[in-house]
Structure 1
C-alpha cells in the first residue's frame, strides 16, 4: 500500500482534549452506554502497561478504560480495555495485533511501521470484519496522536481527534464511516 493512498478523512470542528468531556460526548452518542459505566473508576496499572509498551497512552483512552470494561459497539467495533488485574492480558492482545499488522497489513514500501518504531501504529480496537483502529504515534504527546483506520477493503485514513471523540462521531453520524460498515450505536460490554 502506498502512503499516498492514506488521506486525512476528517478533522473535527473542535478537538476535544478533556478526557471527561470526550467520554460525555461518547455517552451521549451511544444510547444506553451510561448503564454500563462503573460506579467508581477502576484502578488500572497504567505504569505496567506504559512501561511495557515504552510509551504513555492517550488520556482519553485511559479515562475510558477506568470507567468502562471492554465493549463492542453495534456488534461490530470491539474496544479492548484493560481492567484491574487484566493488564498482562491487554498487553498480550496488543502484541498479538502488532504481529498481525507486521505480518499481514504493513507492506515495506508503504512507509508505515508498527509500534515501537518511531511514529509506529499502535492498535486500540478492531471490527468484526477485521478492520483495525490504531493510533499513529506521532506528535509531542499521546494526546496529539492521530487515529488511523485500516479497513479490510483497503481504505486507510486518519482522523485528527482522539479515539473517544472518534468513536462518538462515528456513532452519531458526524464522521463518515469511509470503508467501514455503518455503525449502529448500541453497546454491549464484556
Structure 2
C-alpha cells in the first residue's frame, strides 16, 4: 500500500466556474490564446452516462472554452472535444482502472474510492477526481505521484491548476509547474506544441 500524505485546502474555494477559469487565465497568460471564440457545445449527458455520474461544473466550463492542453511540458489536462464525449469518458474510466492504480496500490483510505482520471504528467503522475457522494462539486482532486505518495486537494480542478501554477499550492511529490502552455489539442486528433 502507498502512503496518503494528506489534504491541502484552498484559502477560499472558488465555486463559480467562470471565476475559476478567469483566475487560471490570469496565472497562465498563454492559456487565453487557446480560448475558443464561441463556447463549445458538448453532450455532457453521454459522458456522464458512460461514467455513471455527473461531472464538476468547473471542468465542464473549462472544456467548453478550451481544448486539451499541457502545462510546462509536464501536466496534460484531458478535456474532450465536442462530439467525442463518449470516447473521452471511456478513456478516463479506463485510466482509473489501469492495473497500476488498483486497490492493492492505493492508500487504505482510498481502496474503495471510485476514481476518474482527468490528467497525467509526462513523468507518470496521475490526476483524478475522488468520487465522493452524488454531488460532483464536492469531489476532491486526488494526485497519485509516480514517487508513491498520494494526496488530495479540497477544491476543483481549475482552482487546483491555478494554485499549482501560481506556487500557492505545495506540490507534494511533484515538481513545481511553471505557468506556461506547452501543448494543446487541435481538434483533429493532433497535438500542437510551442517552440
CA contact (8 A) 1:76 1:127 kept: yes
- Length-normalised TM-score, structure 2: 0.88
The unaligned stretches of length 5 or more in structure 1 are none
The answer to whether the 8 Å contact 1:8/1:160 transfers is no
The partner residue of 2:55 within 49, 54, 57 is 57
Find runs of 4+ consecutive structure 1 residues off by over 3 angstroms. Answer: 107-111
Residue equivalent to 1:174: 168
Q: Superposition pairs for residues 97-108 of structure 1, below 5 Å? A: 97-100=95-98, 103-108=99-104
Residue of structure 1 in register with 2:117 after alignment: 123
Aligned-partner Cα distance in 2 for 1:141–1:99: 22
Q: Secondary structure at 1:32's aligned position in 2?
A: helix
Aligned residues: 182
Q: CA deviation at 1:140?
A: 5.0
**Structure 2 gap segments, 5+ residues each:** 186-195
Cα RMSD after superposing both structures: 1.6
Return the TM-score normalized by structure 1.
0.90
Cα deviations by residue, 1:137-178 (Å, 9 ceiling, x for unpaired): 114510110110000000110011111000000000000111
2:153 to 148, 159, 182: 159
